[in-house]
Chain A
């Protein structure tokens, strides 16, 4: 536990010791604002809610989260520091958890910094703040799922660009899996219940359920177990590379 914390602190500090953290946060905030006000038509809707804000989060995460996740393992492999890290008295699980939690915390910080929009909407009207809190929780959970996928893929390669592209594609498939674009591909040859299973993996479906203000246990379990599975695979991948 303490080892996980030590690694968590080092990783989190590493984000802020390079321009990466600041660039990410600025771009995240700028894009979130742009989507909300221009594309989402925040003012035109005339409604006191943040639907226009949260609606675009999956798409923001789609390319911003893989950018955070790509360096997690690929960079260590490239610079060779992974050899240093894995020969310290820590377990692979502790390293995987420490890295993931640091990245997730970092994304959480970026997400928290969108608070002015919450203040704005409260200033302009009387929104249902319960829905907004639920949406923030849902958005944070979804970002964790994106991150876990990205971390897992980052462990497979020492090339950060490959890690980014693969993670973005896999995240895109998860995002779209409820839509015909993906489902049509499976419908011809997979049995009905498997097609339904694929459709059930859709981030969009689970996320939009939460943004309606209902934190359904099933949605939390979905994101939570997806994170758990990805991190487990991450541990396995790192251990397999020892034996390779």
Chain B
């Protein structure tokens, strides 16, 4: 439903987005990751037609964004970065305005607005000027505006930025609920979000696409993917560390923090293979005094740093 081909944007000498090629299909929720200034927002602005690409093409539902802007804009719901809104309007006036621009009139308009209001739960602040609302409510009004016409393509630039954990949870549930029959792109630099809602992750750094795959595949890139964390009595930590280092599938054992007479060890496997069965058997056979043993799925933060700082 969204198709980017060699999308590039230059601002003077700066290349903000550098040849991004990407497809997003129906039913997919793509998490668009990257550090600040990596080109996430610029890419989204080009998909929504707010900026024109320097070179390359963006297609939405088969229409060229540059050639047929009205056709693509009809099919896109867009929450721009920071959720800009007309602060002097009330939520109701604002949503009515959006509904009219989207071509709804009379009963249909009222129905669409009511549905969007219902979905994002803003009924109790609808009569207040938007500028008097809290950040969370503003974000939700922005979200209501984006989903009002039930678009096929939903583009949300940092939809949970600045929300409290409950609000984040609510927005994520909302996104997951709509995912089935839409193509959704959300940008974020919160990595837990990828785990929570995305079926696919794309990482962008310095305008280039450096990863495109499932969140699981992203985790698998982590140095600590499938590593086993062990907590045991400090007294025998050194002995255990040396013992485990001798296991064939273990790359190395890292010593972690020591606290209350307990030591933490992190056993890192060779080539990210699963070693937990082997390790737990080894530990039991030797009779090591292990208090806790846990498999690490890999830290997204590490992968993120690796991918975006490299080169």
Which residues of A are at the interface with B, using a C-beta cutoff of 8 A?
3, 6-7, 10, 13-14, 17-18, 79-81, 83-84, 86-91, 242-244
Q: Are B97 and A83 in contact (CB under 8 A)?
A: no
Residues 59-115 of B contacting A (Cβ, < 8 Å)? 69-70, 73-74, 76, 78, 80-82, 84-89, 93, 97-98, 100-103
Q: Are B89 and A89 in contact (CB under 8 A)?
A: no
Q: Are B97 and A14 in contact (CB under 8 A)?
A: no
Interface stretch among B46-54, B164-172, B267-275? B46-54
* Residues of the B chain whose Cβ atoms lie less than 8 Å from the Cβ of A244: 11
- B297 interface contact, C-beta 8 A: no
Q: Name A89's contact: one of B70, B82, B86, B87 (CB within 8 Å).
A: B70
Docked pose: A122 CA to B236 CA in angstroms: 108
- B299 interface contact, C-beta 8 A: no
Q: Are A89 and B93 in contact (CB under 8 A)?
A: no
Q: Are A84 and B52 in contact (CB under 8 A)?
A: no
* Residues of the A chain whose Cβ atoms lie less than 8 Å from the Cβ of B129: 17
Among B82, B84, B103, find the residue whose CB has the most chain A CB atoms closer than 10 A: B84
- B3 interface contact, C-beta 8 A: no
* Residues of the B chain whose Cβ atoms lie less than 8 Å from the Cβ of A243: 51-52
Q: How many A-B Cβ pairs are below 8 Å?
A: 66
- B145 interface contact, C-beta 8 A: yes
Q: Name B80's contact: one of A3, A7, A80 (CB within 8 Å).
A: A80
Docked pose: A80 CA to B82 CA in angstroms: 8
Query: Beyond the given A6-B100, A244-B11, could you list 19 further A-B residue pairs with CB under 8 A, ordered by the A residue number?
Result: A10-B89, A10-B97, A13-B89, A17-B89, A79-B87, A80-B80, A81-B84, A81-B85, A83-B45, A84-B80, A86-B49, A87-B50, A87-B73, A87-B76, A89-B70, A90-B73, A91-B69, A91-B70, A242-B52
* Residues of the A chain whose Cβ atoms lie less than 8 Å from the Cβ of B73: 87-90
Please report the total number of B residues contacting A with Cβ < 8 Å.
Answer: 31
Q: Are B101 and A14 in contact (CB under 8 A)?
A: no
Q: Are B89 and A242 in contact (CB under 8 A)?
A: no
* Residues of the A chain whose Cβ atoms lie less than 8 Å from the Cβ of B81: 80
Q: Name B49's contact: one of A7, A17, A79, A87 (CB within 8 Å).
A: A87
Q: Name A84's contact: one of B49, B76, B85 (CB within 8 Å).
A: B85
Q: Are A79 and B88 in contact (CB under 8 A)?
A: no
Docked pose: A17 CA to B88 CA in angstroms: 7
Docked pose: A244 CA to B10 CA in angstroms: 8
* Residues of the B chain whose Cβ atoms lie less than 8 Å from the Cβ of A91: 69-70
Q: Are A84 and B84 in contact (CB under 8 A)?
A: yes
24 contacts between A and B (CB under 8 A): A3-B101, A10-B86, A13-B93, A17-B88, A80-B82, A83-B45, A83-B50, A83-B80, A84-B85, A84-B145, A86-B49, A86-B50, A87-B50, A88-B101, A89-B70, A89-B73, A90-B70, A90-B73, A90-B101, A91-B69, A242-B49, A242-B50, A242-B52, A243-B52
Q: Are A80 and B84 in contact (CB under 8 A)?
A: yes
* Residues of the B chain whose Cβ atoms lie less than 8 Å from the Cβ of A14: 86, 88-89
